Amino acid sequence: MRPRIQAGFELDTQLEADTCPVLWLTLCEVRLMNDRRWPWLILIPQRANIEELHDLTPLDQAMLTFETNLVAAALKQATACHKINSGALGNVVHQLHFHIVARNEGDTNWPGPVWGFGEREPYRKEDRHQLIAKLKDAISSQTI
């Protein structure tokens, strides 16, 4: 699938620095948080100047729902995790982005949230490449 980027959209530099590209869906760019404590994907709707979910158009809201649910199902399948945590916060990075995180009992900060906890622990490069390949396959094989 090809990206369909709205004029004026540019990925936030902090998001870009903390994450690695996985693939592009119709509305969103999907990126992996470079933090090996949890398998953690971020969907960024390619829309300029949007900070809240409810500021998207109704069609974009519906697209985002389909894309987040597709990615969540794929992440759960690929990691065999116990629970998906998802959310949109945006207290630090203002550009609208939606988190989808694979959680397991006993993981770092369980059952607390992943946001704002401790320091990011980057993947080793080969582990990251392997996980991204696995996630790409899992997302691409989902149907909606």
Residues interacting with a second copy, by CB under 8 A? 51-54, 58, 61-62, 64-66, 68-70, 72-73, 76, 83-92, 99, 103, 109-113, 115-116, 144
d(C-alpha 135, C-alpha 125), whole Å: 15
Q: Which is nearer to a second copy, 9 or 110 (CB)?
A: 110
Least Å from the CB of residue 87 to a second copy: 2
8 A C-beta contact, residue 75 and residue 39: yes
11/67 Cα distance (integer angstroms): 18
CA distance 112 to 131: 24
Task: Decide whether 30 or 70 has the Cβ nearer to a second copy.
Answer: 70
Nearer to a second copy, 61 or 128 (CB): 61
CB 84 to a second copy: min, Å: 6
Closer residue to a second copy in complex, CB, 22/64: 64
Closest CB 129 distance from a second copy, rounded Å: 26
Residue with token string 């622990």: 121
Phi/psi for 123 (5° steps) reads -70, 155
Within 10 angstroms of residue 38's Cβ, the number of other Cβ atoms is 20
